[in-house]
Chain A
């Protein structure tokens, strides 16, 4: 309770002060600046951006105080277009959708936009079209799978809270219930030691694991599901307008595409699996 009241108080103060800060931004005359006069910020004059830790490349790279990587650079570019300095904070995924005031302005953490989730939080427009990737060990029978139906009788693992798990349950429908892990690292260990035959997660992560983490693994294919990653904000936070405006301008002037090419190109060249 007390923390809540403190947070609300902080938010209120931040809103007042941000109002003052907004005017000086206007004077600087940046063309891509947010149209809102007083974006409600968690901390005055700063864009507080959250992600989970550990943060994985290529989404995030470098120092946790100054991330680069695809999502790191997207967030930085949004902050630049809003004329605000950026401050990174840690937000566990499971906490990001808790009711009540948030400890950040927005959270960027490979979160897929779904209608159910939209009832609880605010999402920006999508900033990346996600596909599911299917990672297996080269010497396992799973490596010969030609289609999703070949995976039915194998033991499949996924990380809790990912749409990969929904994909396994709704589309692959394996005979044995999928194994569900807390973290990518746990699922990685399980695949490496043969506890699971198949690890399904977002395509970029599977290719990263193949190339840098799990010797002898291979990505047998991807499966696009018409999913997009979105930036998460507190339900009803008007800041989403500013974030969307920045994202739209980044799409229009090609910045988003350039960032994707720079960070993700090597991860997306995988054949699509048939159902």
Chain B
């Protein structure tokens, strides 16, 4: 309707131009509505009785900068954020491996392997159910309290990473499992009929398809993981959110929280866009497959 008039070229080109025309008008409408929407928010915020106080307490450039780079007695939020990144990178690798093991174990058929399957089920139920912060407290304060050699005398960050790995592996294992179960049984049957063992079929036929399908939800979980690294601070280490809290409490100013939030968003956005692209690519591929 919006596209070609009577004199428009053939149907396929028409469809393309039609959507572009809709796009132009859509851009106009969306721009106008965006401007209006944010202008309304800006006006409400600016006219609120406490807007000056909030601007001073949250967005004062001096405090923003000071908390970013640190000051006497207060750690730098940016410096502390490096710890979040390190925790994230180490935990991510461990989670990918452990979760895959759990998902595969859960899928092993046969009565002999029942105890292993049971263990995998109990594990995912348990660690998906317990809030991360409680796991952190139990591991981070419980294990050192046991007084065992070596494992009770590790740095607190290690207990933090272990807790993150325990909790997130349960989530990610379920994502893997969904992927494995989405691969049609005929793929496995075909592989077995070609003489591949059960393990070879899993390794070379099922998993490659399964993992490719679950990459977008996996990345989604990792965006969650990036943010949850902030919780490791309850065990004593100063990461970005804690550094922000220290600054806030000593200066009675919340600018440091704004800075920390900004850093988390800054590192999350590229991953989110990357996920979007993967989803779009996957969709294109599936649609191409459906046509063929």
Contacts and interface: CB of A to CB of B under 8 A. Distances in A.
A226 to B, nearest CB: 15
Interface of A: 1, 4, 8, 93-94, 97-100, 114, 116-117, 119-121, 157, 160-163, 165-166, 169-170, 177-182, 186, 189-190, 192-196
A189 B145 contact: yes
Given A8-B49, A99-B53, A193-B152, A121 B242 contact: no
A11 to B, nearest CB: 12
Nearest to A161: B249
B57 A99 contact: yes
B236 A100 contact: no
Nearest to A166: B73
A160 B252 contact: no
Contacts of B235: 195
A116 B53 contact: no
A157 B144 contact: no
Contacts, number: 95
Contacts of B75: 169, 177
A222 to B, nearest CB: 19
Contacts of A100: 50, 53
Interface residues of B, number: 35
A196 to B, nearest CB: 7
B72 interface: yes
Nearest to A167: B73
A109 to B, nearest CB: 12
Contacts of B249: 93-94, 160-162
Most buried by B among A120, A182, A193, A194: A193
Given A190-B141, A195-B236, 20 more contacts: A98-B254, A99-B50, A99-B58, A116-B252, A117-B250, A120-B251, A160-B246, A163-B250, A169-B72, A169-B73, A169-B74, A169-B75, A179-B156, A182-B234, A186-B141, A190-B156, A193-B141, A193-B145, A194-B153, A195-B156
